[in-house]
Amino acid sequence: MDGDDEYNDGNRAFLQAFMARGTMTLREAKPILAAILTAEGDEPVDAMQITQDIFDSYLSAAQEALSSLDYDIRSAMHQVTKKRVYAIVNTTSDPMTQIATLHSAEEIAFVKRVLDAMFEKYNSPRLEAMFLDSMQFHQCCRAPPAARSQPAPAEDMDEDTPQSQQQLRGLKNSEAEAMMQSMVEEGWFERSNEGCYSLSPRALLELRSWLIETYNDPDAEPGEWQRIKFCEACKEIVTVGQRCAERDCNVRLHDICEDAFWRTRREKKCPKCETPWDGKHYVGERAVTETEAYRRSKGHRGRGGRSSGLMEQIMADPEDGEGDEEEEGLEDE
């Protein structure tokens, strides 16, 4: 059942299945590999017989086959489920170019506005949300005036139309909803039970370098607050987890990493600024849903209820950078 070292039809079938999905976990791979090994052998193979070693051997063969095509297979732990997710990653082309192979210039511009909202508008020292709800992604539908005046890509232009007349107009609400659903199906975004959209493990693996280059300041002083931050334990990007209680400190931890991390330390203090770590300062959706304003509003409206603009109000960053007073005033809005 260990298979032949030679790259064969079974390896090709596995790679095709992997590429069709974009990402894969061991659990998802087990029935696929069981079917492949059953087809190759004389006896049926049950999915329960597929081990991590067998999976790793097929991953290794696929990785070697992809290397000459400028693709790689990388993995990361899901920030919520703790499952290890494997993804096929393009190692050379721009991430937006990859998405553009399936979508129009208008759709790609919309996705870029969504990412800007996640990592700029709703990601500040006061509150690191890095997600959008349905109302907020609808705000990204329209192209800003500057973008509307920019020429569209040459492939989207008619031969008889002057380039100066080509403009990005944005998407209709229905088109934006369809695009977000498509991004979820393609594995770029995830949608939570609260109806909020955030980057998936595949996106974080694929877009890692691009996110850092786009949203972090390369000239920032050591220790200065940055928009893209990494888990102190596993060193992967944190968009869901915990943060240091000191607002300007960059130390972050995934929830799935914290137990092992604190077991190696003598006291529960931030390893950089030594602020006591209370586990009550959050990154991601809980940065909003654990606020007093959100809990009070949800209690008033019943389970699953919330005012249409409540998340937007909580996530809006006041000019002075302080949100405590504003949250207190949201209860009755």
For 15, the token pair is 């790679």
Report d(CA 306, CA 322) in Å as an integer: 23
pLDDT in tens, 191-233: 998 899 999 999 999 899 999 999 999 999 988 999 999 999 9
- What integer is the mean pLDDT of 177-184? 94
pLDDT in tens, 46-105: 999 999 999 999 999 999 999 998 899 999 999 999 999 999 988 876 666 666 667 888
Find residue 86's DSSP bridge partners: 24, 75
Kind of pairing, strands 84-90 and 23-24? antiparallel
Instruction: Let me know: does 29 contact 37? Beta carbons within 8 Å.
Output: no
pTM of the model: 0.81
Binned at pLDDT 50, 70 and 90, residue 299 comes out as: low
Answer whether residue 158 shows pLDDT above 70. no
Report d(CA 141, CA 232) in Å as an integer: 36
Q: What mean pLDDT is reported for the chain? A: 84
Residue 194 has a pLDDT of: 86
pLDDT in tens, 233-290: 999 999 999 999 999 899 999 999 999 999 999 999 999 999 999 999 999 999 999 9
